[in-house]
Amino acid sequence: MEFTYTTRIATTPEQLWSALTEPEYTRRYWFGVAMQSDWRVGSPVKWQNMPEEDFQDLGQVVLAADPPRLLSYSWHLLQPAHAMLFGWSDEQLTEYMKEPRTMVTFAIEPEGDGLVRLTVNHDGFEPGSVMYQAISGQLPGSGGWPGLMNNLKALLETGTPLATVPSAVGAARGDE
């Protein structure tokens, strides 16, 4: 199974690449998450959930990088923070963590008139995957890629993301 989402953003390919790869950008539209890597094939993609925490290696690895046109990396598995966010029991999380690692690819294509088409393709899901439900926005409490990409679009076009912390994430982190 795969999930594909496409949006058009008034920006440049270079600005969009920066927004996808620079921690100070990702933190602004990814609900506080900063991502860090040197973005070379084989390098880890590390996550930082809170500014005071260290960057964590969740097993994500850069699979392809062609700045500013293409970025692909393996996707993390479900984590204890997800259980807290979605109200899963330890048993549910243990079961969901058995899902295979997936892959996300960002294709960046200039369209002219100051627009760039961003296509997010996330694949490798088994039927019934909870991660698929989360990234597609079908899991209550998750906006998935559509929510993230709308937030990114707003940030690049207006300077302000649509939301800084969704209510479910804020509650899981104690922000509310």
What stretches of the chain show up as alpha helix (H) in DSSP?
A: 13-21, 23-29, 80-86, 90-96, 130-135, 144-158, 167-173
Which one-letter amino acid corresponds to residue 27? R
Range of the domain at 111: 2-173
Q: What percent of the chain has pLDDT over 70?
A: 92
Q: Can you give the CATH number for the domain in which 75 is found?
A: 3.30.530.20
Q: Structural domain tally of the chain?
A: 1
Which one-letter amino acid corresponds to residue 111? E
Coil/strand/helix, residue 114 = coil
Taking only the tens place, the pLDDT of each residue in 32-50 is 889 999 999 999 999 998 8
How many other CB atoms are there within 10 angstroms of residue 64's CB atom?
Answer: 13
What does each C-alpha distance from 78 to 5, 40, 53, 84, 100 come to in angstroms?
21, 24, 19, 11, 10
Taking only the tens place, the pLDDT of each residue in 88-131 is 999 999 999 999 999 999 999 999 999 999 999 999 999 999 99
Which one-letter DSSP state was computed for residue 175?
A: -
With CA atoms as reference, report the closest residue to 2 among 90, 98, 103, 84: 103
141 neighbors 132 (Cβ within 8 angstroms): no
Give the per-residue pLDDT at 164.
53
Q: For all residues of the chain together, what is the average pLDDT?
A: 90
46 neighbors 21 (Cβ within 8 angstroms): no
pLDDT, average across residues 52-74: 96
What does each C-alpha distance from 172 to 32, 40, 133, 176 come to in angstroms?
13, 33, 19, 9
Across 39-53, 61-75, 156-170, which has the greatest mean pLDDT?
61-75
| Better-predicted residue by pLDDT, 172 or 128 | 128
